[in-house]
Amino acid sequence: MSRTERRRALITGGSGDIGAAICRTLASQGLEVIVHANSRPDRAHALAEEIRGQGGRALAACFDVTDEGATADSINDLLEGGAIHVVVNNAGMHRDMPMAGMAASDWRKVVDVNLHGFFNVTQPLLLPMARQRWGRIIGISSVAAILGNRGQSNYAAAKAGMHGVVRSLALEMASRSITVNAIAPGIIDGEMTREVFDKATIASMVPMKRPGLPEEVADLVGFLASDKASYITGQVVSINGGMGGG
């Protein structure tokens, strides 16, 4: 059995379009994937079953990333089944509204899921990763954190906060061969995107005149999660078809 085949990866928000693509890609690279979900556990279990049916290794885990205690308990249970070497913080949400009309509860909820969730999931894994002297921590951010976006001040703030965490945590964990990076996708094709953007709008916003594919984001995750990316850390990598920003 290769080193890669012994590795396990936890993907939060694994039941969504991008999360599912990440799970499939990492499973194809030989990792055991833990497909996380909160509100859609049936989709997480179905994806894990699909991956196992194709010869991969997968299981589902369901918990609320904003609940610190429940998240810690779930991660401890998962660690009893073996070390977790890769964590992809993909769970996220948005509640869009210009700030002038935004409810305080919508600000807090979006920050809670997108930023506090990163801490709640990642922090319990840091010492176990440090002891094994290898790890990959990846946060899925957004072009909104780099360029801003009308109606998404809460979402942009949370994701930009993730960038600060990534850069700081990368310095803390580098000596243990643990890399910490973020990926900032632009408009990515999926259920939610199709409800918001038509082809003309995408063509006007994206120099490449098309949305990205979930598989393209997943391929970048797969690279950053591999041994080939061992000297890349503390970075925010954009994948946005040329929308601008770095």
Q: Among 154, 155, 165, 189, which one carries the catalytic annotation?
A: 155
Instruction: Tell me the CA distances in angstroms from 202 to 92, 193, 194, 207, one per residue in order.
Output: 22, 10, 10, 9
CB atoms inside a 10 Å sphere around CB 60:
20
Instruction: Tell me the CA distances in angstroms from 175 to 113, 132, 139, 200, one per residue in order.
Output: 29, 12, 20, 48
Q: Which of 193, 192, 191, 171 has the alpha carbon at shortest distance from 181? A: 171
| Residue corresponding to tokens 């063509």 | 203
- Give the gyration radius of the chain's Cα atoms: 17
Whether 155 is catalytic is yes
Cα dihedral angle (156, 60, 7, 172), rounded to 10 degrees? 30
Catalytic residues: 155
